[in-house]
Structure 1
Amino acid sequence: MAMDGAVPLPLYRDFLAQAYHHVRHTCRLLALAAARTDDDDYRAALFDYITEEQGHEQWILDDIDAAGGDAAQVAASVPGQACRAMLAYVYDAIERVSPYALLGMVHVLEGMSTLLASRAADALQRAYRSEGTSGFRYLTSHGALDKEHVAFFEQLVDGLCAPEALPVIADTANMVYRLYGDIFRDLSRGLDSVQGGACHAA
């Protein structure tokens, strides 16, 4: 849907709102994993990652404003149920299971972004007839930036992680695929509800 530019602008803003809520927790999750690990190399890599991720939630708020939304309202809002469930799961997995669980989330979110973000941004810019990257900084920047983060993930898994961490990473990734997908399913249901109401009103 996003690849052919068929996403209504209000739905794009709703997507950005949920992205804001999970992205603003990224550095907190990284810091939690760093505090819980005994692996010095892993901790150092997480600190480097924190430096790269700082401020990305502000990019999203700027995009929301540029797309005609209310960034202040989004910043003061509560995440959707699916977003809350995903965040709660990852926090719990890092705290209760293993600090390596964080890498399961990294694999899903950064991998999906690498595959889809730049292509989706191009299609949406054409559909909305937007010039430049106004309203699309989060998507356009992450399409390229997350290629580096995927390499970060591969380096950690191949060279730094203890073998016993791999099942934890895989299990967390499987859960986050499902929970992240629920965010989009919730957005889709919201769109169907709006469109259904419009058809009924007509």
Structure 2
Amino acid sequence: MSAAASAAASASTASTASVALRAKLALARPAVTAATDALWRPAGLGPRYLRYLAAMHQLIRASVPLMERAAVRCAELGPADPVAGPLGRYLREHAEEERGHDDWLLADLAAAGADPAELLAAVPPPAVAELAGAQYYWIEHHHPVALLGYVAALEGNAPAPWLADRLAAGTGLPPAAFRTVREHAELDGGHLAALDALLDALPLTAAAEAAIGLSALHTAHGITRLFLGLAADPAPGDPTEGGTR
């Protein structure tokens, strides 16, 4: 391939929707990484991991309902919207792939010695409500395509393959307490590849790409806020100390 052809190919690749979205998310990566490092610091790791599991359950239990609602909105938009058909099919398929993952987190909590019933009775924190709630707003009052930014940000910040072993060593909890961390470290890379393919196949307008990017950056900011909140260990005597609320 000539240098000119190679440059043209590179420019074409750089202009794809998936690459553009990754570039936007890269802007938020330092903050997310710093919050993640604070979350997984060794001191107080055991109780903090339980709080992480609780928060992830509260967040992930919204994933399938969000995708199902977005798929319904796609059906309502109908064939007049060229994005709605393929987007709806993707969302229905991905919802099935994600179904039951919230139950994994309840099982992890039980294996770690916590009471899942206590979690289910607790009010989710504002950071969780804001993460999922913004998506409901955009699905209902703008366009369900915005949800792709949420998916990209969450799955783009999946646990590292080594994290489960590090957490097990640092907490002393049994292997059964880390199923969700292990599974998502393996699954989310494939999910991101499917999302990239969809983004590059959809006939996205500039406005649709902007909505996806805004959703992704909002989600990355929300993850950062959530992780920093979890990283801030409760003061002695706080009723949430060592618990799942």
Give the TM-score, by structure 1 length. Answer: 0.87
Q: Please give the residue correspondences for 1:101-180 in structure 2 after superposition, counting only pairs within 5 Å.
A: 101-113=146-158, 116-130=159-173, 133-164=175-206, 165-180=208-223
Paired AA for residue 9 in structure 1 = G
Question: Percent of pairs identical after alignment?
Answer: 30
Gaps of 5+ in 2: 1-36, 79-83
Question: What is the rounded CA distance, in whole Å, between the counterparts of 1:98 and 1:7 in structure 2?
Answer: 42
1:137 offset after TM fit, Å?
0.6
CA offsets 1:87-146 (integer angstroms, 9 cap, x no match):
111111121121011111111110101xx3433212101223445x31001110000101
What secondary structure does 1:79 align onto?
coil
Equivalent residues of 1:104, 1:169 under 8 A apart: yes
Q: Please give the residue correspondences for 1:26-65 in structure 2 after superposition, counting only pairs within 5 Å.
A: 26-37=63-74, 38=78, 39-65=84-110
Equivalent residues of 1:3, 1:119 under 8 A apart: no
Aligned positions, number: 193
Gaps of 5+ in 1: none
Equivalent residues of 2:51, 2:230 under 8 A apart: yes
1:163 offset after TM fit, Å?
2.6
Match of 1:87 among 116, 127, 132: 132
Equivalent residues of 1:157, 1:166 under 8 A apart: no
1:156 offset after TM fit, Å?
1.3
Paired AA for residue 122 in structure 1 = D
Report the aligned-residue RMSD. Answer: 2.1
Q: Considering only CA atoms, is the larger Rg found in Structure 1 or Structure 2?
A: 2
Select between 57-66 and 30-39 the one with higher mean Cα deviation: 30-39
Question: What is the rounded CA distance, in whole Å, between the counterparts of 1:193 and 1:86 in structure 2?
Answer: 25
1:5 offset after TM fit, Å?
4.7
Equivalent residues of 2:112, 2:173 under 8 A apart: no
Structure 1 residues 74 and 19, CA gap change in structure 2 (3 angstroms): same
1:195 offset after TM fit, Å?
9.8
1:76 offset after TM fit, Å?
2.2
Q: Which has the higher contact order (CA 8 A, sep 6+)?
A: 2
Structure 1 residues 111 and 95, CA gap change in structure 2 (3 angstroms): same
Partner of 2:49: 12
Paired AA for residue 229 in structure 2 = D
1:7 offset after TM fit, Å?
5.0
Structure 1 residues 146 and 73, CA gap change in structure 2 (3 angstroms): same
Structure 1 residues 36 and 129, CA gap change in structure 2 (3 angstroms): same
CA offsets 1:136-176 (integer angstroms, 9 cap, x no match):
01110000101111112101111125234211110111111
Give the helix-richer structure, 1 or 2. Answer: 1
Structure 1 residues 62 and 158, CA gap change in structure 2 (3 angstroms): same
Question: What is the rounded CA distance, in whole Å, between the counterparts of 2:129 and 2:173 in structure 1?
Answer: 31
